[in-house]
A = this chain, B = another copy of it.
Amino acid sequence: MEPILYDYFRSSAAFRVRIALRLKGVDYAAREVHLLRDGGEQHGDAYRSVSPAELVPAYDDGTGPITQSLAILEYLEETRPLPPLLPATPRERAFVRSVALSVACDIHPLCNLRVQQQLGAAFGASEDARVAWLRHWIALGLRAVEAMLAGHPRSSPFAHGDLPTMADLCIVPQVTNALRFGCDLTFVPLITALYEHAMSLPAFALSAPDACAPSL
């Protein structure tokens, strides 16, 4: 069967996987799971059988659904190794995974939709307060990633040299999200340059939320 990506255009976790599928030349069918329609399609019985956590993305190449964007990236890397999204040595791979996880664990989970909703429900957080919360974690996290890149000998044009890796697949969607929420990015020049370089390439640009918004 043709692989299925359970997708939502604004999800930065899904954005990571869309880039990987394009880079690796995998033809797939996108199945939109609209996170805001009907109280959230991700919470319906149909999608819960795909993703018990009720989160996008999920990927199914006919062997059953895989959830968690980084697990999907590792699976794609093992089953469709070219072009590689991880470098050659264990130490280099550790750097790439460390950067990817710094975004995926330390920034993104604190900023996604369900957390914003819970801040409202639990603390009555206003829209302004929720945006301030997002900006706090994005700034803190991107500052750390910038320092990791600054300490790495090959952090240009991508996080590890000339080819995109899982690190870039996490950084770029996070920057897109930061821009959406009006974050100041002047203090992370390496990240900004990386983002601009990546977005000049079709695999990144065509996977971005604005390029993937569902038609009405």
Contact = CB atoms under 8 A, between A and B. Distances in A.
Interface of A: 48, 52-55, 63-64, 66-68, 70-72, 74-75, 78-79, 90-91, 93-95, 97-98, 100-102, 104-106, 108-110, 115, 118-119, 122-123, 125, 129, 132-133, 136, 141, 143-145, 147-148, 151
B72 A106 contact: no
B110 A115 contact: yes
Number of copies of this chain that the complex holds: 2
A149 B65 CA distance: 14
Nearest to A90: B78
Contacts of A148: 52, 67
A68 B98 contact: yes
B123 A67 contact: no
Chain A binding surface, main DSSP class: helix
A125 B110 CA distance: 16
Contacts of A132: 122
Contacts of A118: 133, 136
A71 B53 contact: no
Given A53-B106, A70-B105, A72-B94, 10 more contacts: A53-B141, A66-B98, A68-B102, A68-B105, A70-B97, A71-B97, A74-B97, A78-B93, A106-B109, A109-B110
B74 A79 contact: no
B136 A101 contact: no
